């Protein structure tokens, strides 16, 4: 298998521990990196992000094989595994750092993100309007090491049990055919 079809996508859907755990389980996804993007300072640290004053979102960068899973499928899973209708909030996590966002890398990704949002709105998938921002990707900064592979290293922790496990259950139920056989 060559790496000629590797591509990347950057999404923010609340806490990056949650979104990282979801996308790590998909066939064709080779790497998921938790990090920060969309803000105003260089090389932000987690302690700065949590204040909400830097403008960064907790985001993930997904490296995937477009022959196995495509950008449209990633978007579909992204919208199905978080609440894109709450502004600057996912569950109990509140602040601009937890906003719902698609950070596009090219015009095609931008067009596909808007098209997916329009489709979901037209079909009435959500009871409230989608507030997901679609923004050009700027610098992406990797989060600190202890945030990487968080769920897999800390699955017994309370946050993982009560917040991430339900997302993984939904993923398992809704997208079973897209999942890796083991992780």
CATH at residue 106: 3.30.1060.10
- The answer to whether position 178 is within a domain reads no
Task: Compute the residue count for the chain.
Answer: 183
Q: Which residues of the chain have pLDDT under 50?
A: 1
Q: What is the domain range of residue 150?
A: 6-172
- The answer to whether position 180 is within a domain reads no
pLDDT of residue 3: 59
15 is a catalytic site residue: yes
Residue 21 contacts by C-beta under 8 Å, 6 or more apart in sequence? 150, 151, 152, 160, 164, 167, 168
pLDDT of residue 1: 45
pLDDT of residue 183: 60
- The answer to whether position 181 is within a domain reads no
pLDDT of residue 95: 92
Q: Which of the residues 10, 15, 22, 26 is marked catalytic?
A: 15
pTM (predicted TM-score): 0.95
User: How far is residue 21's CA from residue 17's CA, in Å, rounded to a whole number?
Assistant: 6
What's the number of domains the chain is made of? 1
């Amino acid at each position: 298998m060559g790496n000629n079809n590797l591509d990347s996508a950057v999404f923010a859907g609340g806490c990056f521990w949650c979104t990282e755990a979801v996308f790590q389980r998909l066939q064709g996804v080779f790497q998921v990196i938790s990090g920060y993007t969309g803000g105003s300072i260089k090389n932000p640290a987690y302690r700065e992000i949590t204040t909400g004053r830097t403008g960064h979102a907790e985001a993930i960068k997904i490296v995937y094989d477009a022959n196995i899973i495509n950008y449209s499928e990633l978007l579909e899973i992204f919208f199905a595994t978080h609440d894109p209708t709450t502004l600057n909030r996912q569950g109990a996590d509140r602040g601009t750092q937890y906003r719902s966002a698609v950070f596009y890398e090219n015009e095609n990704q931008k067009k596909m993100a808007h098209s997916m949002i329009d489709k979901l709105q037209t079909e009435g998938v959500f009871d409230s309007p989608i507030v997901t921002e679609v923004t050009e990707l700027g610098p992406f900064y990797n989060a600190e090491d202890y945030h990487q592979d968080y769920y897999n290293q800390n699955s017994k922790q309370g946050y993982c049990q009560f917040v991430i496990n339900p997302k993984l259950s939904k993923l398992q139920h809704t997208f079973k055919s897209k999942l890796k056989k083991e992780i």
